[in-house]
Amino acid sequence: MKYQYKEMPESMKGTYGEFSKNFGFDWKEFIMGIPTPMFLVTTYKSNGQPNATMQSWAGFTSANHGGGYYVILCSVNKSGHLYQSLNEKKVAVLNFMSSDLYKACMKTIQNNQFEKDEITSSGLTVEKASWIEAPMVAECFMNLECKYVWEKEIVPGDDHVMICLEVVGGHIEKDYLEDMFGDKGVLYNVHYPINPEAVKEKGCDFVAALRKVNQSDEY
C-alpha cells in the first residue's frame, strides 16, 4: 500500500505552526526524508577572517563535455557570509567531518559573527589550502578545494540560490581511503523525518552514515 501526498496532509497543519514554510523548507521535504551529504564550507571573508558554513542540500556530478568534477550547492542564502565570500573570492573548500567532529562543526552556526574567525572559535584548526586562497579545517578527513563556476535562482526572485563549484583537487586521510563506508565516513543530513500518518508534537534532525550493501554477481 502506498500513501499519496500532493497537498499538505491535514495531520501536519497546525501541529508545527505554518508547516508549509517551517524554517524556510517545503513540507514535502519532511515527508520524503531524502538524506543529503553534510559538510562544512570554508572561505575567507572580505576582512580576511575565515568563514565556515554548515551545508547540506547538495549534489555531486561529473561533466561529460570538457570533464571536471562539480558540486551543486542547492540552497545558499543571499544574505549570508558564504554567498558574499563566494562572490568576492570565487573559491571555497568543502570539509567533510567524521561523527566525532559533528558538534564542533555545528558550533560554527553560533560563531558566525563577521569579525570572528569562525573556524578556530569553534575549536577547530585552520589549515592553508594548496591550490586556492581559502582556509581548510585540519581535523576533517577530506577537504575538497573548489572554484566558483555559476549561480542560479531556483525560482526567480528567491532569497536563496544554487551555486556550482568545480573541484580543483582534494586531501583525503589514508584511513578513510581504506574504509569509506562507516561511522568515520561522510555524514548525511536526515532532515526532521515525519510520518504524516502518525504525527508527533516533537521531532528532531538526524545525522547518518552510509552502510555498504553487497550486490549480487548478476549486477
CA–CA distance, 71 with 192 (Å, rounded to integer): 24
Q: What is the pLDDT of residue 165?
A: 98
- pLDDT band at residue 216 under the 50/70/90 scheme: low
Q: Tell me the average pLDDT across 141-160.
A: 96
* pLDDT reading at 13 higher than 80: no
Q: What is the pLDDT of residue 204?
A: 72
CA–CA distance, 92 with 42 (Å, rounded to integer): 6
Q: Tell me the average pLDDT across 170-196.
A: 88
DSSP 121: G
Q: What architecture is the 37-209 domain classified under in CATH?
A: Roll (2.30)
Q: Tell me the average pLDDT across 46-54.
A: 96
* pLDDT reading at 191 higher than 60: yes
**Cβ atoms 191, 30 nearer than 8 A:** yes
Q: Among candidates 37, 38, 42, which has minimal Cα distance to 136? A: 42
Q: Among candidates 55, 42, 54, which has minimal Cα distance to 117? A: 42
DSSP 138: T
**Tens digit of pLDDT for each residue in 71-87?**
999 999 999 999 999 99
Q: To which residue does cell 547540506 refer?
A: 56
